[in-house]
Structures are given as C-alpha cells and as structure tokens.
Structure 1
Amino acid sequence: MDAGQVDAVVWRNRALTLFDRVSVPVAVCDVYGRVVLANPAMAAECGTTPGRLRGRDVLELFRPQESTQVDRIAEALRLRRRSRYQVSVRWHSPGGAERYGELTADPVSDTVDETPALLVMLRVQGERTPRREPEPAPVTPVEGRVLALLAGGATTARAARELGLSRDGVAYHLRRLSARWGAANRTELVARGYALGVLVPGVWPPEPRGSAVE
C-alpha cells in the first residue's frame, strides 16, 4: 500500500469516527434512498441500532408530507443535478410521540459522472404527544351507579328507588363525589364523570365503566 492509499485509509477512519460521534442524525443512502450507513443519532430516532437500519428505505422510516417534494428530487437526481434537497417528514419516536421535521439530502460522489450517494441529515422541529384516554378515577360501585343515573336525567327520588337507598343516602354519595372532584353542581359532576373516565362515553343509557369501580 503506497503513501496515498495509507493517507486515504487514515482520513476515512477519521471521517467515520466523526460521523459516529456527531449528535445530528445523519445517514448515507444510495440514490434510491436505501440506507448504506447511519450514525447512532439517526438510529436512536428509529429506536434501533445503526446496523439494523442498513438497507431500509429512509422515506419509509420518515414519512414525507408532500409527495411532490419526493417526485422533484427523484427527477433532479435522474438528471444528475447536484442541489441540496429538503423534504418535510413525520415519524414516531421510540416513546410513541409523533415527531415532525425536515430531511436534507445532499448528493455526494467522488466524480461528477459517478452516480451519487445521498448524505441525509434530519432536523427535528417538534413533536406531538399522543392523546391518551384518562385512567378511570376510582369510585365505589354505588357511586358509579348514582352518577350514571344522574347522567341519564334521574332525580334524587328516582335514583333512590332504583338503588334501594333513601333520598338522603343518594344525596350523601353525590356530596362526596362533588367534594372529591370539586364540582359546583350536578351538571359539572356528570361532566367530570365522563372526563375522568368513570362513565362510558357514547353509551345510552349512561353506565359506569367497570374498571373505574373499586
């Protein structure tokens, strides 16, 4: 191996070391968008390791928001243009949040005539945390049934008859729920029952969620 080849190997190794250590998610892809090399930061965005990204389609990992952007890039690469290309993308982080950002692709090659590879960098712009159903607030079986009857329009007297309680007994359970949830009136109490997952949404007549009952 001559001196020039030795220097080339040295600089290649230095470049790979820098590539692995840079905090920006970076990958090298072939002209079709298949990952050839990825750094740990890029792999972390996909919840995997660099080796497992090899051969994956970068536009399947990071979904383009506008297909026309991808079409323009494909046409430009076919014509061997050397511009920088940007694609707005979305993807899911390992934690489940939907992230959005921008992929920047720069064609790179040793000669002008050589089919270029793509140096791809990902810029994270933000994320949207998935909305989760609230954990049902614990209530007793009687409280759950009282609340369901109230949501269905029952009066204190009717709720007492259906549950085999006195009117004072029903009022006692309603006062406890109102104090626990800080509800100012019965309308707010019912609304909080749905918001806290105690009452099953979309069901008539109203019924308490089974898992909400202690």
Structure 2
Amino acid sequence: MRADETAVVWRNRALTLFDRVSVPVAVCDLYGAVLLANPAMAAECGATPGRLKGRDVLELFRPVEAGQVERIAQALRLRHRSRYQVSVRWDGPGGRVRLGELTADPVSDSVRVTPALLVMLRVLGEETPACPAPADAVTPVESRILALLAAGATTARAARETGLTPDGVSYHLRRLSARWGAANRTELVARAYAEGVLAVGVWPPEGRGC
C-alpha cells in the first residue's frame, strides 16, 4: 500500500473514532472557527456537527473570564505550544445554562505550520437559575429592614445597618404598609412573617431566601 493510501486509511479511522467518542471534541483554526465537531460537541449546543462548522467556538461557549482568552491568543501568536484552558458557560439542551471548561491543544504536522486547535469540553454542571422576582416582590433591602424591625431596631438603627438615610427607611416602610394594609409596625412585621418574607423560628430575625 502506498504512503498516500495509508494516510487515507488512518485518516478515515481517526474520523470514525472522532465521531464515536463520547467526549465533546472539535477541531478549530487558530482563530477559533470550528472546522470539525463531533456529535457529542454538537449535542451540547443543540445542533448537528455540520451546523457548527465555521462558528466561533467562543461564541458557542462563552468565556467566564475575558482575560483568559486574551492571554491564550497572545501565546498562540507567539507560537507557544501549550495546553490552554478556559472556563465557559453556554446554553445547553433545554435552555439551561451549563458550566464547564474548554481545553485547547495546538496540533500540526510541523512546528513550521500554523497549528489547528484540538478543543475538548468538560461539562461541570448547570448554573443555578436566579429566583424569579415578581414586580411587587419585597426587595432584599426591604427584607433586611423588616428583619431589623422584627428585632426591635429603630428607624435610625435600620438606616445605619442598611446604608440608607432614615427617610429612605421610612419610604420603604410606607411602601410595604400601603401594599399590605398594615396600620403600624407591629402589623407590618406580623404580615412579613405571614407572607413568608421573614424566616420562622430564627433569631435574630432574617429574610428567607427563594
């Protein structure tokens, strides 16, 4: 078998392995454009391998820290052949934001040839969604004021603890009293417990998380 035929055979075997491996893998050019992606990588983007071709890998998988990317780009421009890692987040299947790490290894047949990047993705988990906040929800500042009030704090002390002015604290208390129909501060605290804004059985009083 001639050398060129042998190369084709090994190339086909490598592509078969590339497609079947369960680890998300892609080959990108030096600028991050996807040249080839396996089905596992495409599945993380809710796409097919063909639809990823030509896409910027750092648009598909958004860096958590922009500085990481610039340092890697500088190293690649200087033809440093190291392994590079970037913490990323992306929109996974079902719309959930996923977290992981991209590892990029420069690869080429010769040190004189501009390398491609063999990119592997390690999935670390999913981002915890923030709690939804209705338009009339109690704000964190208001929750803190209510907790201080339940502990017996005066308006002046609540202002010091929250970094507001006394007038600012009074504004929030009037807003809450109007919403809940509370005639005084005792009723306001009672309603805060009834609404689940303040945690029951906790001292000193504190607001509840979502």
Check whether TM > 0.5. Answer: yes
> 1:98 is aligned with what amino acid?
V
Q: Using a 3 Å threshold, how does the CA distance of structure 1 residues 191 and 21 change in structure 2: closer, same or farther?
A: same
Equivalence map 1:174-189=2 (5 Å): 188-189=193-194
Q: How many percent identity over aligned positions? A: 71
* 2:196 counterpart (186, 191, 199): 191
- Structure 1 stretches of 4+ moved >3 Å: 131-134, 185-192
Q: CA deviation at 1:190?
A: 3.4
Structure whose CA Rg is larger: 1
Q: Is residue 152 of structure 1 aligned with residue 170 of structure 2?
A: no
- Aligned-partner Cα distance in 2 for 1:124–1:190: 39
Give the unaligned 5+ runs of structure 1: 135-148, 155-184, 193-214
Q: TM-score, normalised by structure 1?
A: 0.63
Question: What is the aligned length?
Answer: 150
Q: TM-score, normalised by structure 2?
A: 0.64
- Aligned-partner Cα distance in 1 for 2:65–2:59: 14
Alignment-derived partner of residue 41 in structure 2: 42
Q: CA deviation at 1:75?
A: 1.1
Q: CA deviation at 1:188?
A: 4.7
> 2:82 is aligned with what amino acid?
S
> 1:151 is aligned with what amino acid?
W
- Aligned-partner Cα distance in 1 for 2:120–2:179: 57
Q: Is residue 9 of structure 1 aligned with residue 38 of structure 2?
A: no
SS in 2 for 1:191: coil
Q: CA deviation at 1:131?
A: 4.3
Q: Using a 3 Å threshold, how does the CA distance of structure 1 residues 115 and 108 change in structure 2: closer, same or farther?
A: same
Q: Using a 3 Å threshold, how does the CA distance of structure 1 residues 187 and 84 change in structure 2: closer, same or farther?
A: closer
Equivalence map 1:108-127=2 (5 Å): 108-127=107-126
- Aligned-partner Cα distance in 1 for 2:65–2:195: 44
SS in 1 for 2:98: strand
